[in-house]
Structure 1
Amino acid sequence: MEFACMPEHFVEDVMELLIFASRIPHALDGVKLDDFMNFIIMFMASPEYIRNPYLRAKMVEVLNCWMPRRSGSSSATSTLFEWHLLSVQYLVKNLLKLYVDVEFTGSHTQFYDKFNIRHNIAKLLEYLWQVPVHQNAWKQIAKEEEKGVYLNFLINDSIFLLDESLNKILELKELEAEMANTTEWEQRSAQEN
């Protein structure tokens, strides 16, 4: 209860510092990041403690900064994903939970914001899919979920995005056809173009 009352800007400041430090080569070498990893894993999927979805998404951004860039590469942060106990147990499930939670951020730009957040989550999930110790977590989630809420949500969201993309392709094709008729296209006002 006390933690939920803490001002969220404390957490935001720490996440900003971690992102900044992660972008400086070798700045985190020798720094023990286990406690930060514990914190991120446990609270990124806990809206009852950290209500701001953008702040929880910033935790994913930190994890993206820590993610090894090449598969098979060993870095100080790769052990956080491959050998960290909480990471192996909860990271995939919590990322999927956050993926679902960002559907409604409460912002007037939520429709666009969720795509950036989900893109970062998807990059992490794609990486974790290739890490053998996390494949068991994926299997466990598929077995445990009777209704398959997370996986169904991912599939439905992908279908929606694919449908939107196909509709945009049709719109572009119509626009190209209009542009092919140069006299009509040139007569249109700048606002219509």
Structure 2
Amino acid sequence: MCRCVPEFLLENLASFLTFVRRFNPRTLEENAERFLNPILTLILTFMDAPHRMLNPHLRARMAECLESFLPHPEERNDLNQLNPNPFGCFHREQLFLTHPHRLHIVQSLLDVFVGIEMTGQSVQFEQKFNYRRPMYIIMNYLWNIEQHRQCFTRLAKEAEDNMEATTPPLFLRFINLLMNDAVFLLDESLNNMAQLRTMQTARESNRNQNRQQALIIIFKEPEL
């Protein structure tokens, strides 16, 4: 039944949540009771199972929707604004603590993280990394919540116990891709530092050359 849902509906949902999060996050709090729980259930339903959503790009967008629900510290000080939000980010904090399917978030997230690698050769590494960027933010937030940290620990223990399995465990594949991303970022950083050094050297050389030319003009003997 879920496979019959048109993909453009979920694409529109992702675009809407991203827009709301960037421009009017207080909407998520004002309509929390009838909005947050059903939407998170919908996100987990499609993000958790490839057989319900065959498009890996759209599953990655569902992870971006999940990132839209994260509370941000600056919103706790929203009462100081001209148009204050009296709820702050209370309901979104409670969403990750009380939602009935909250313990599925970590595994669903890692499954999407790994599944992006199967999008095909036409997808460049940079695009895959951009898909994973909001997932890093979500993982960082979930790691600070004890019950979600236990989910990470459980998956890590399962991976350790099944290290020699024919099909690599989910957490092991996640760690492998995580290291690939880290190496990619390190390589990009070193390349950018080398380019900056080259540009800085060229600018200093040009500056010294201009200074020498200026001194020559100043101290040059006037022609008779």
Range into which the TM-score falls when normalised by the shorter chain = 0.7 to 0.9
Give the drift of 1:161: 1.6
Equivalent in the alignment of 2:42: 39
When residues 105 and 49 of structure 1 are mapped into structure 2, their CA distance, relative to the original with a 3 A threshold, is: same
Task: Kindly name which structure, 1 or 2, has the bigger radius of gyration based on alpha carbons.
Answer: 2
User: d(CA) in 2 for partners of 1:150 and 1:156?
Assistant: 10
Q: Secondary structure at the match of 2:91?
A: coil
Aligned equivalents of 2:67 and 2:181: distance in 1?
21
Structure 1 residue 66: Cα displacement: 1.1
Q: Which amino acid aligns with 2:139?
A: L
Q: CA deviation at 1:12?
A: 1.8
Q: 1:19 to 1:181 in 2, by over 3 A?
A: closer
* Residue equivalent to 1:158: 182
Structure 2 gap ranges (5+): 77-87, 164-171, 211-224
TM-superposed deviation, 1:21: 4.6
Residue aligning to 2:168? none
- Mapping of residues 1-193 of structure 1, within 5 Å: 2-22=1-21, 23-25=24-26, 26-70=29-73, 75-88=90-103, 90-103=104-117, 105-106=119-120, 110-145=124-159, 146-147=162-163, 148-182=172-206
| Residue 160 to residue 110, structure 1, CA distance change in 2 (3 Å) | closer
Determine if contact 2:46/2:59 at 8 Å carries over to the other structure.
yes
Counterpart AA for 1:70 = P
**CA RMSD across the alignment:** 3.0
Rounded to whole Å, the distance in 2 between the matches of 1:111 and 1:156 is 10
**SS at 1:46 equivalent:** coil
Count of aligned pairs: 184
What displacement does 1:18 show?
3.7
Contact 1:43 1:56 in 2 (8 A): yes
Shift of 1:91: 1.0
- CA shift in 2, pair 1:16/1:156, >3 Å: closer
The letter for the 2-side match of 1:68 is P
Query: Kindly, what percent of the aligned residue pairs are identical?
Result: 31
Supply the distance in 2 between the matched residues of 1:50 and 1:98 (Cα, whole angstroms).
11
Q: Structure 2 counterpart of 1:161, which letter? A: L
TM-score, normalized by length of structure 2?
Answer: 0.69
